[in-house]
Structure 1
Amino acid sequence: MFGRKVLIAGMAVLLMAALAGCSGGSSSSSSEASPSGGDDNSPVTYTYFTFGAPKKDVLASETTIGKELFEQTGVDWKMEYLVGDAPTKAGVMIASGDYPDIIDSSGEMAKLMDAGAFIPLDDLIEKYGPNIKRVYGPYMDKFRQDDGKIYFFPYGANIGYISEPNFQTGFYIQRSVLKEFNYPKITTLDEYFDLIKQYKDKYPQVDGKETIGFATLAGEPSNFFTLQNPAMHLAGYPNDGSVMVDLETHEANLVAGSEYQKRWIQKLNEVNAEGMLDPESFTMNRDQYLAKLTSGRVLGYFSYSWQVGDATNNLKKAGIDDKRYVALPIVFDKGIKDQYIDPPGFVNNYGVGITVKAKDPVRIIKYFDNLLKEENQILVQWGIKDESYSVDENGRFYYKDDEQRKIHEDPELSRKYGFDYFNYSWPRYGNNSVLADGNAYGPGNQPEVATFTYTDGDKKLLEEYGVKTFAELFSKPDERPWSPAWSIALEQGSPEQMFITKADDLQKKYLPKLIMDPPSSFDNTWNEYMGEFNKLDKKTYEDTITKAVKDRVSGKW
């Protein structure tokens, strides 16, 4: 998993935590109160840092949800979000030893684990975590480390399963394009770009500015996968990260350097030569990307729904359905089954952990346990009854009016309420969970909510394609017991970890050049890229991931 360096550091930290009530310990907490052992609700403020999606820093109690949790526990959080490059920030933390009380690690977990940044949680869970055991119990062996201990909580353990009726991930296209051509059924990459080209030729400008055929979020290193991942989806594979896993043999093969990657990148090269690719695709940041999507100038893009939530909600708020987007399950060729919808899975390589600088681990673990009470899992997803959701005579959760819906969907209202801060990067139920009373854990999976939030434009589009929900545009996923392969942990400094770092660096160097160069240069540049790529130890990496996949299939995690 993450290596065995954590064992000695972890044991030492556990001992310090046990003695904290006597010694006072050290902490990055803003509170000067002595450790309580978790037995009182006196006000205290701890620090939370996330390497996840950037947001505005906030004091948790300034949100509706955070205030409610503060009133229950006396615990508040100074919530801080990544600015700049994640690996650099993690390196600075590790070098200085200056950690917040808890860290949401995102992609930096392996580095933080090897540095001994987190304390082991097993004894704390056993003493103070009945709800933690209820939620994570069936999954705990899947995220124990090499020393047999637990150091963090992954983002969600599914309790039951319900699919997302409004699934939206893949190749997005502006609805005006579909409307213009009488809602054609397009399934292949060529059909997708042909339709966009026809529309752009017909409408070269939007509000006096040039229409953008296709844009991609490849200007930020942390979002470069938006350019890498489409190749696997186009070939009929789900998001398994850097590999495509054969359903029958369970062999893992790299996306990078494959014929699928070449076909995808060469298509973008053609698109760029035709003047359809946004020239700022490799320089703009996330905010600039979202602003372009909201402007109505972009006809198509590839993204995962969580990357573009603000743009999606702002466009819906503006009420101009034709300028909104719909995601389509685009593949290379007819006959390929799309695999955009992920099967049920479990992510075990990142999450939220308590650091070695936390003053009062007991009180923090009690906060986590309280958060995992079902009533509080309802709070962080649905909010407060009769305020942000209602309950009908059959006990079903729904939105009774647009005011309740807006609290969830309007970006500013969602942030103010706390949904944007509490509904993901904490110990939590899995996205597809079902509550004890049969309601969906998340509003997005509740059928009553899905249909309520449809605009006239939504209903028209769905009617034209003969479906009732957006998820019905996509194929149902095949079962994949290893899912997702991108959660397979690589030990820091291992040959496999060094390979994928070098492979990513090569792609960041060559893929933009391959796309932006004249088509006549493509083959030469591709051969140069592959010459460099083939110097790397591809086989060791693929063999390692294949073995991990086969272990998961046989029940070993």
Structure 2
Amino acid sequence: MKASRRKIMLMVMTCCVMLIAACSSGTSTPSVSKSNNSPENTSSGTNETTAPPQEEYVIKILTQDNNQIKRSDETKIGKFIKEKFNIVFDFVQTPGNYTDKLNLMLAGGDYPEIIKIQDNATFDKYVRAGALLPLDDFAKNSPDFAKMFNVQIPLWKLTAPDGKLYKWEGGVPVDFKNYVEVLDIGVRTDALKQQGWPNLLSTDDYIKFLKQALKDNPTTNGQKTLGMIIPFAEPWGMQGISTIMYEKGGRYTAAAGNMGVIWNQVDKKFEDTMTNEYVKESLGFFNRLYREGILDKDSFTDKYDQFVEKLNSGRALSSWYVVWGLSTANQGLIDAGHPEMQYINMPVRSMKQMERNEKRQIRVEDTRPFDIYAITKNAKHPERFKELLAWGATEEGRILLQSGFEGEEYTIVDGKRVPTEAYKKTLTDADAQRNVGFGLFNFLGNVLTNGQDGVPYTMGFDPKIQDELGLTKGMREAYNALGWESSKDYYLKTGEVANTGIAGTVSIDTTSDLGALHQKMVDFRVKNSTNLIIKPQNDEEFETLYQSIISDYQKLKPELVVNEYNRIYQEKQDQLNQLK
């Protein structure tokens, strides 16, 4: 689930960039524009003035995104790269199972020069096969790259069997305020207004609110209103988000993914998922929703497409966890003549989390193993690509790749980038986005931090501008009515940064006996989570069934897996200390 949902979230945030723009505080910014950055007068990542190589270097990039761009030089940014480095990227569509394709390519030795890998297991295979080029010397000789990824590089080395650097990743590093990832409950604003704008928070609050909202709105646009929708049929559905209540409190994050263990951010240790008290509360919450007729019965068979269809129709009063499509649904409702029906993301906490009132641990990923990039031994001119990669880590490179060109996408006011109206309009048009090249060059790095001027490299990530341009009028009015200063106001005031660090790199060999046991733990939890949601008719029956299930679960000896995770974590911590 982590990789799948985080991949979706990255796609959504890329689109979000196209809906928002920004200005912020900081120091001066170098000027980047077509007129003053010709190949002859612009420095590269090596800080040397060089003429572009004469031979055009075309590099294939595998993609599963239907970006409609075949060659990078069809874009403004791509043209600049061609003029400066004489490198062109050929985007090749790869339908089907991407990981299976990578495995086939590895077996045949026909993998591309620059490769994207979506998990550490596949990355490990490529390293062990000698398919990837080490980047240790490159990092030493590229000070901007080394500085930008100073936290990540030791963690990236940890994932290689020989401790060398073979990869870089997209979407890191992250500035917490630029990327507050909180996926809680999407709530329909007209229902909030009907009940006097309650500040929902506890699970009891939601049960009471949704019961009344269903009474007040039995139908929506001629269809039966649904209390809460969830795509449990997705692979990351029942396995991941049915138990995810644990991340809403003050101790845990989803750094360990959605397998048999969860990460205790405070105590720095792995714990068993199935027996966690917040996981129990999560399943108990869904059982109450089911008993009250609030949970859509089709949630157990609905995949993402069915979920989106219901969300976009406005039939649902709420959605669990999958809130990254709210803006799209809202615009559709406006276009359909129902601007009063909008969705906003609101927080939720279990009853024990409410009692403890701890600071929420908001995950900030230090690594993204589902967004790995590497240079393979099939690269014809690896040094030329490395030169481009080094430039991409400079201030000039980062601004151009993520903000565009001065005078076109932004101007400089008091030393800070300020987005132009043309830029703002571009961000609402997918074709215009592609024409500039935004989102197409993530393989050159895509950092979620601020430039030297204090403005996010991707200007649209400025929190204030995210709301200014990313929220509909109805969404802004709803947050104002709730007394929030921004859409992230509650989370910033009640949460704290929880960097994933090593925790996100720990895994057990799936081919080992413990790996097989780990999968049994997951399968047991998925099967019995469904039973705990739909079978109990009251709280007493839920407790009885839960205790019986846990008794059977303990027979698997899940502590063996938990102990191994903690052993590997400590081992990696010792290795990291040596790599720093």
Q: Which SS does the other structure have where 2:245 is aligned?
A: helix
Partner of 1:139: 152
2:56–2:87 CA contact under 8 A, matched in 1: yes
Counterpart-to-counterpart distance in 1, 2:238 and 2:67? 22
1:189–1:332 CA contact under 8 A, matched in 2: yes
Counterpart-to-counterpart distance in 2, 1:122 and 1:257? 42
Residue 442 and residue 261 in structure 1: after superposition, are their counterparts in 2 closer, same or farther (change >3 A)?
A: same
Counterpart-to-counterpart distance in 1, 2:236 and 2:87? 32
TM-score (norm 1): 0.77
Counterpart-to-counterpart distance in 2, 1:497 and 1:56? 38
Partner of 2:455: 439
1:399 Cα offset (Å): 4.0
Residue 488 and residue 547 in structure 1: after superposition, are their counterparts in 2 closer, same or farther (change >3 A)?
A: same
1:331 Cα offset (Å): 0.4
Counterpart-to-counterpart distance in 1, 2:139 and 2:264? 40
Tell me the alpha carbon deviations over residues 317-351 of structure 1, each in whole angstroms, 9 at most, x when there is no partner.
87965433222221002234476663555116452
Tell me the alpha carbon deviations over residues 489-514 of structure 1, each in whole angstroms, 9 at most, x when there is no partner.
44453455444433333344443454
One-letter code aligned to 1:103? I
One-letter code aligned to 1:179? K
Counterpart-to-counterpart distance in 1, 2:115 and 2:359? 32
Aligned: 1:298 with 2:316: yes
Residue 248 and residue 130 in structure 1: after superposition, are their counterparts in 2 closer, same or farther (change >3 A)?
A: closer
1:132 Cα offset (Å): 2.4
2:344–2:475 CA contact under 8 A, matched in 1: no
Aligned: 1:505 with 2:523: yes
1:96 Cα offset (Å): 4.4
2:172–2:368 CA contact under 8 A, matched in 1: no
Partner of 1:238: 253
1:238–1:339 CA contact under 8 A, matched in 2: no
Tell me the alpha carbon deviations over residues 93-116 of structure 1, each in whole angstroms, 9 at most, x when there is no partner.
44444433333222x222331353
Partner of 1:75: 87
| Equivalent in 456, 475, 481 of residue 464 of structure 1 | 481
1:188 Cα offset (Å): 0.5
Aligned: 1:382 with 2:403: yes
Aligned: 1:205 with 2:240: no
Aligned: 1:352 with 2:368: no
Residue 229 and residue 44 in structure 1: after superposition, are their counterparts in 2 closer, same or farther (change >3 A)?
A: farther
Tell me the alpha carbon deviations over residues 146-189 of structure 1, each in whole angstroms, 9 at most, x when there is no partner.
31211110224438x46138765322212222222121111101
Counterpart-to-counterpart distance in 2, 1:532 and 1:60? 56
Partner of 1:365: 386
Residue 259 and residue 426 in structure 1: after superposition, are their counterparts in 2 closer, same or farther (change >3 A)?
A: same
1:238–1:340 CA contact under 8 A, matched in 2: no
Q: How many residues align?
A: 511
Residue 68 and residue 538 in structure 1: after superposition, are their counterparts in 2 closer, same or farther (change >3 A)?
A: farther
Counterpart-to-counterpart distance in 1, 2:333 and 2:393? 33
In structure 2, list runs of 5 or more residues that go unmatched. 1-50
Counterpart-to-counterpart distance in 2, 1:293 and 1:192? 18
One-letter code aligned to 1:143? W
Partner of 2:355: 335
Tell me the alpha carbon deviations over residues 47-103 of structure 1, each in whole angstroms, 9 at most, x when there is no partner.
33368xx65574252444444434443333344566555554454444444433333
Residue 326 and residue 192 in structure 1: after superposition, are their counterparts in 2 closer, same or farther (change >3 A)?
A: same
1:539 Cα offset (Å): 1.8
TM-score (norm 2): 0.75
Partner of 1:541: 561
Partner of 1:391: 411
Partner of 1:286: 304
1:46 Cα offset (Å): 2.6
Partner of 2:27: none
1:287 Cα offset (Å): 3.5
CA RMSD of the aligned region, Å? 3.8
Tell me the alpha carbon deviations over residues 203-248 of structure 1, each in whole angstroms, 9 at most, x when there is no partner.
1222222222212233222565552452212444333234444455
Aligned: 1:59 with 2:70: yes
Counterpart-to-counterpart distance in 2, 1:498 and 1:247? 26
2:247–2:253 CA contact under 8 A, matched in 1: yes
Q: Which SS does the other structure have where 1:179 is aligned?
A: helix
The 5-angstrom pairing of residues 70-219 of structure 1 reads 70-79=82-91, 83-85=95-97, 88-106=100-118, 108-115=119-126, 116=128, 118-122=131-135, 125=138, 129-144=142-157, 145-158=160-173, 161=175, 163-164=177-178, 169-219=183-233
1:119 Cα offset (Å): 0.9
2:507–2:565 CA contact under 8 A, matched in 1: no
Higher relative contact order (CA 8 A, sep 6+): 2
Q: Which SS does the other structure have where 2:488 is aligned?
A: helix
One-letter code aligned to 1:408? L
Q: Which SS does the other structure have where 2:345 is aligned?
A: strand
Among the aligned pairs, what percent are the same residue?
22
Q: Which SS does the other structure have where 1:275 is aligned?
A: coil
1:329–1:338 CA contact under 8 A, matched in 2: no
2:55–2:86 CA contact under 8 A, matched in 1: yes
Q: Which SS does the other structure have where 1:46 is aligned?
A: strand
Q: Which SS does the other structure have where 2:193 is aligned?
A: helix
Q: Which SS does the other structure have where 1:426 is aligned?
A: helix
Counterpart-to-counterpart distance in 1, 2:445 and 2:193? 40
Counterpart-to-counterpart distance in 1, 2:60 and 2:548? 47
Counterpart-to-counterpart distance in 2, 1:124 and 1:310? 45
Counterpart-to-counterpart distance in 2, 1:416 and 1:127? 35
Aligned: 1:274 with 2:285: no
1:266 Cα offset (Å): 3.0
